[in-house]
Structure 1
Amino acid sequence: MKPAHPLYSVLAWSAGCLAGVLAARFVPLPALADPLWLVVSAGGLLLSLWQQRRWLIALACVCGLLAGLCRGTAVRLPEITTSHYSGQTVTIHGRINGDPSANRSGGQTVQLAVATIQNQPAGGHIWLTTHTHARLQRGSHVVVRGKLSPGFGVFAGAMYRARIIQATAPQGDIFLPMRDWFAGRLFTWLPNDEAALAAGFLLGHKTALSNQLDEAMRTVGLTHIVVASGYNLTILVRLGRRLFARHSRKIALIAGLSLVAGFIAITGASPSMVRAGMVAALSMAAWFYGREVHPLTLLIVCAAASVLIQPRYIWGDLGWLLSFAAFGGVMFLAPLLQHYFYGQQRPQLIPQIMTETFSAQIFTLPITLYVFGSVSIVALIANLLVLPFIPLIMLLSAIGGLLGPLVMAPAHWLLSYVVMVVYQLASVPWATLELRLPISAIIGLYLGLGAMLWWLQRRTQFSWRSVNITR
């Protein structure tokens, strides 16, 4: 019997892991919360990879399911403890995840990773708003008090207008002071809107955006360029590869991976950055070893790895879902459209941006309609007018931020152009379309996208293995 390719076992284990974590959201099994089950699962996967028997692929899937249930249960049980305090006024100790953001009432909104409630061990994340003037930062440890309300989405609870009893500065995050120092220089030498955009491009520092600019960018479908996302990371990885590949593939690989790690450390490990970092790292490794990897393999393996790190992602984290949906569009639909219209010839910059933007928008559209009930009509135009300049803006802003205002002028001009485009397109009366669809229609839309992919692949005979996001 012909041996099974090891990749099939990895895919089966990854698929089982996704199913297990998802199942643990609804049916946590306390008996499987022991980390020893992860060791058992890894042993089963290694056995499948070693023997390479076809029937062992099923074993790999079961072992992945076991790993998912173990990891998901270990995270879900403390969340259930937190939810039991709903409706009570409690004191919570926890750590702030991500950057706090300003809300419309003039306060701050944070995502708090719970450590204890009423001095009892607990877990999960809560959505918290407060009107404190204390400086809250990513990684700050805080003690808060307020009434715990029922949670929503991936949050085990919510606390509105919480009172901050104590807040301590983050410890051990050496990149946060560097980020804040560089952002301060940008705001010193650029107007507020332009500086906020530059900080978003380079640092993933979206919280500095004014409410007006933030709303305008949502309207025109450009929010993805000012948050830590795969687009910004891809620009850095491609830059590193092109600068060093002509000298040494090994140096190019090291440079690319270093940029990935550094960018994630500076911006924070958001769901979209975790996904983008894993995809970029695996794609760089495949390029280095001269291997061609099917994008579906990247999608499943990266999804499984990310939910093992944080099971809440697959339980309904909107950023994670949108990130993977956009990745699916760029990696599956965009190459098919480019091959359909241009054949073997690589499209120029503008057609490439158009197909990639359209593909990402169409794959995230069902989720956007279901959650927000609206879609940007001008998103494609906005992306065509802005995206070609983002790499140059990032380069000029980085140089200007380091060297001073004398070399910041070119970045200032380009950033002002972006601000102008955003506000002009956002002022168009028909910029957005209000349309809310039921879940059955969302499923139908994704089935239709699957049918379109099948038809395009049959028509073009395109080879998926030629797709690599770092090229």
Structure 2
Amino acid sequence: MVHLRENNPDVEGEALRAPLGEFAPPLRTDHPVSRPTRSRVARLNVRLRSLPAEIRIAAGKESGQGHLFHFVPVCMGLGEVVWFSLPVPPSTTILLALLPLSLIALWFSLAGTNRRALSLAALMVVAGMLLADAETRRMATIILDAPVVTTVTGVVERREAGAAGEWRYVIRLSATADPVLRRPPQRISLLARSRHGVVRIGDPITGRVRLSPPSGPALPGMNDFAFQSYFAGIGAVGFFLGAPERPSIARAAESDLWTQVDQSLFSLRDRISDRIHEVLPGDTGAFAASIITGERRSMSKEATDALRLSGLAHITAISGLNMALAAGIFFVGLRALLSLFPGLAQRYPVKKIAAGGALLAATAYVLISGYQVSALRAYLMTAIMLVAVLIDRPAISLRNLAVAATIILIAQPSAVMGPSFQMSFAATAALIAGYAAWRKAPRSIWPTPTSTSGKLATFAAKFVGGTLATSLIGGLSTAIFAVTHFHRLSTHGLEANLAAMPLISIIVMPAGFIAMLAMPFGLDAPFFWIMGGGLDLVLVVAHTVAGWGEAAFIPRQPTWFPVLVVVALLLMTLLHTGLRHGGTVLLIVTLAAAFLRSGEQPADLLVSEDGRMVGFWSQQERVGEGRVLASNRKRPPPFLFDQWQPALAADHHLPPSMESAPVLPPPADWKKEETWDSATIQLARQTLEQLVQTAKTDRFTCIRSACAAKLVDGWTVLTVDRPDLAGPACDVADIVILGGRSRMKGCRSTATFLSETTLRTSGAVEIRLGAHHDKTIEISPALSGPPRPWTIHRLYDWRTGETARQHGIDSGDSKDKDSDSETERKNGPHNPAMPVRQ
């Protein structure tokens, strides 16, 4: 009998009952015996075969722990994004029919976890589409269809001061005159630069103004400001042609209770901002007002650019940081104050009392901040956390974030398309997930201190490490949205946040919060001074870091890039099992594909939506100066060029070469119904032909009212500012672009003709040129297909009252081109300076 315990002392008692053959000693040999092992291919094959079963098990764990609830706002938001993005979304009837079908599918799939999850996801997608459709119908904003100069009368709903003393008024329009608009918008936003008696919120206002529709996309695929204006209820933007006045009428009566409450809140916000500017003048006061009341227009351009370039612009937005600090300071302070009274602390739950007080403070904060999307999201998250404290539940969790996101998506579906919603929720989800991962697997890398100095050093290290980790996680999680919407990344944002955030957390927010509590008693000035000192240091950090270098420009990415990155981030942050590693793999593959892709062929010619700015790639980029964008404007409009440059990754702008000769004939006087004779037309044609012959390939060559350039493969482009030059220009260039309105639909020659009139329906365009001998040309408009509610105003013709069926470049047939061109030459051009009657 073999004594196993003596020969194998490590064998457990359970193994003693095993058959003896299982413990037979191996045969000794002088040569190693090769063990039969599976090949790597076989092991990989087995692993792949078991992968579906492992995924089902992991999915069951996620569902069992309630993690699938995190995807409710994701699916709802997906439905809203699809509805807003589709050229032709499903009709309301179809969506209403799909909703009960989704409910029936969910009812019959209760037995299976996977089927139930898929049915619930489909239900949430359909619900999101219905919510987007309902909000669009509810807003029904009338957007101005064409620029106009008129006299307006209305009531001031909101106002905001600018850095140079100007004022921005949001006015509810009540009447227009000289001319009277046929389709007047309900609300307009006007800038008043002239000195005037500042009009209070709720008071009537009148004045001569120039109104324009909100801008469309600067280039195809870029941000559409008309979309934002539609859902903000703003139908036109513009400025006063002089000082606005108070009409000699009684104060307008309020329409309803909500209007009164809204005006009262914004009046209170104005008074708080005025008090801050009184105590803290200049950029310091503007910075403080942006943090407390959300008023950001009063900060100078230099300070705004410094904060943006340094990656600190997020401080000026009332977001989770501001709300959490405000509520946290109140919560900790009130709890500490109540704890000073032992009898009270033993008899009542001071923690819950402090949470209730912090909830009231956060509510007051969001009301005076103008309830922006980021502020609402932060308030909902903070309120849910404080309510969780009141009912003894975990305060910080992804479930709370999902509830806050769901509430916003139900109340304001259009917010899902904006960078504020996307960046705030992405950063919050990433921070919560990172915090949860750190708590789940803590690692002590610092020895336990015993002395006072050691404890202070440990605290400082943890504070710096936490700030660094927070900045890194927040920056990485929002980078994709910064690239998608703004096409730029701050290269030194991590260093700037590491230096500035301790100042915000320790000095700025506590002092500002105490100042707000002391303001009713007139004791706020000392605390505002402390807050201003901290903000001055933050501005020093911003200017210093901004001087280290410009932000990195990231050109437009293909549509699949942000979609796949968002999916990867959702998997990484919302899941807890091994399924989250699928997001890591997807993120790596997506980034690698974006880095290795060859990229699409850049457009040869860029045209703004009004035809007044045209750009092309200069040949100077071959000399080592980077990508140089040449335009026909010596000083391109900042609003437009600041969007073009990062989206196109243009390193430099090349202004045109201005020439004094040749000289074009003066325009005909349309007021006297003058027309050009044949000799004048021939002179204009010869002048333009001479300009085209002397044009360069690296930049535009310009004379008064016209510019010319030579592009690749011999293509010539001619831009003109006067409608009477359009006909002669068509005879001497391949592409003619008129920066004004015209009755012409196209050239009688083979030239391509674009004008403010044709571009009004299509928006900005990108032109790619093919073979010159074939006259092959591809035009990509910013807007195409059937109109949506926020673009239909572009198709309205105020002359005839008709509306076109869809967007796009419509040059008309040759017969129409000839007749329109001939009419233009006989009757005189349509002058853009003529008064526009809506």
1:218 maps to a residue whose letter is R
**Pairs within 5 Å for 1:22-421:** 22-25=81-84, 26=86, 27=89, 29-31=91-93, 64-65=124-125, 67-77=127-137, 82=142, 86-87=145-146, 100=160, 102=162, 128=189, 130-131=191-192, 133=194, 135=198, 146-148=211-213, 151=216, 152-153=224-225, 154-155=227-228, 156=230, 159-162=236-239, 171-172=260-261, 173-245=263-335, 247=345, 248-292=350-394, 295-314=397-416, 316-333=417-434, 335-336=436-437, 342=443, 348-391=462-505, 392-399=507-514, 402-403=522-523, 405=525, 409-421=529-541
- Does the Cα contact within 8 Å between 2:142 and 2:235 map onto a contact in 1? no
Tell me, in whole angstroms, the C-alpha distance in 2 between the residues paired with 1:99 and 1:183: 11
Which of the residues 21, 25, 37 maps onto 2:80?
A: 21
Tell me, in whole angstroms, the C-alpha distance in 2 between the residues paired with 1:421 and 1:310: 36
Tell me, in whole angstroms, the C-alpha distance in 2 between the residues paired with 1:209 and 1:403: 25
Corresponding residue of 1:467: none
Tell me, in whole angstroms, the C-alpha distance in 2 between the residues paired with 1:372 and 1:137: 35
Change in 2 beyond 3 A, CA 1:231/1:406? closer
Q: Which moved more, 1:160-169 or 1:278-287?
A: 160-169
Change in 2 beyond 3 A, CA 1:116/1:103? farther
Q: Which moved more, 1:401-410 or 1:280-289?
A: 401-410
- Does the Cα contact within 8 Å between 1:107 and 1:132 map onto a contact in 2? yes
Tell me, in whole angstroms, the C-alpha distance in 1 between the residues paired with 2:154 and 2:474: 36
Tell me, in whole angstroms, the C-alpha distance in 2 between the residues paired with 1:317 and 1:444: 18
Tell me, in whole angstroms, the C-alpha distance in 2 between the residues paired with 1:97 and 1:322: 29
Deviation at 1:232, TM superposition (A): 0.4
1:189 maps to a residue whose letter is V
The RMSD of aligned alpha carbons is 4.8
- Does the Cα contact within 8 Å between 1:234 and 1:280 map onto a contact in 2? yes
Report the secondary structure of 1:161's partner residue. strand
2:272 maps to a residue whose letter is F
Corresponding residue of 1:424: 544
Q: Which has the higher helix share?
A: 1
1:312 maps to a residue whose letter is S
Structure having the higher Rg = 2
Deviation at 1:297, TM superposition (A): 2.5
Deviation at 1:269, TM superposition (A): 1.2
Tell me, in whole angstroms, the C-alpha distance in 2 between the residues paired with 1:174 and 1:29: 40
Segments of structure 2 that go 5 or more residues without pairing to the other structure are 1-62, 217-223, 253-258, 340-344, 447-458, 582-838
Deviation at 1:350, TM superposition (A): 1.7
Q: Which has the higher contact order (CA 8 A, sep 6+)?
A: 1
Report the secondary structure of 1:146's partner residue. strand
Deviation string 1:35-61 (CA, Å, 9 cap, x unpaired) is: xx9xx99xx89x99xx99978877766
Tell me, in whole angstroms, the C-alpha distance in 2 between the residues paired with 1:141 and 1:336: 56
Deviation at 1:355, TM superposition (A): 0.9
1:333 maps to a residue whose letter is G
- Does the Cα contact within 8 Å between 2:325 and 2:509 map onto a contact in 1? no
Deviation string 1:42-85 (CA, Å, 9 cap, x unpaired) is: xx89x99xx999788777666655653443222213667736x6
2:551 maps to a residue whose letter is T
Deviation at 1:207, TM superposition (A): 2.4
Q: Which moved more, 1:447-456 or 1:211-220?
A: 447-456
1:330 maps to a residue whose letter is L
2:510 maps to a residue whose letter is L
Segments of structure 1 that go 5 or more residues without pairing to the other structure are 462-471
Deviation at 1:327, TM superposition (A): 1.5
Change in 2 beyond 3 A, CA 1:408/1:111? closer
Tell me, in whole angstroms, the C-alpha distance in 1 between the residues paired with 2:321 and 2:158: 19
Tell me, in whole angstroms, the C-alpha distance in 1 between the residues paired with 2:154 and 2:65: 42
- Does the Cα contact within 8 Å between 2:385 and 2:396 map onto a contact in 1? no
Corresponding residue of 1:469: none
2:533 maps to a residue whose letter is W
Deviation at 1:140, TM superposition (A): 8.3
Deviation at 1:340, TM superposition (A): 6.5
Tell me, in whole angstroms, the C-alpha distance in 2 between the residues paired with 1:414 and 1:147: 41
- Does the Cα contact within 8 Å between 1:100 and 1:136 map onto a contact in 2? no
Q: Which moved more, 1:202-211 or 1:95-104?
A: 95-104
Tell me, in whole angstroms, the C-alpha distance in 1 between the residues paired with 2:173 and 2:411: 17
Corresponding residue of 2:780: none
Change in 2 beyond 3 A, CA 1:411/1:158? same
Report the secondary structure of 2:393's partner residue. coil
Q: How many residues align?
A: 443
Tell me, in whole angstroms, the C-alpha distance in 1 between the residues paired with 2:426 and 2:283: 29
Deviation at 1:449, TM superposition (A): 4.7
Report the secondary structure of 1:355's partner residue. helix
Corresponding residue of 1:468: none
Change in 2 beyond 3 A, CA 1:237/1:138? farther
2:430 maps to a residue whose letter is G
Change in 2 beyond 3 A, CA 1:185/1:158? closer
Normalised by the length of structure 2, the TM-score is 0.45
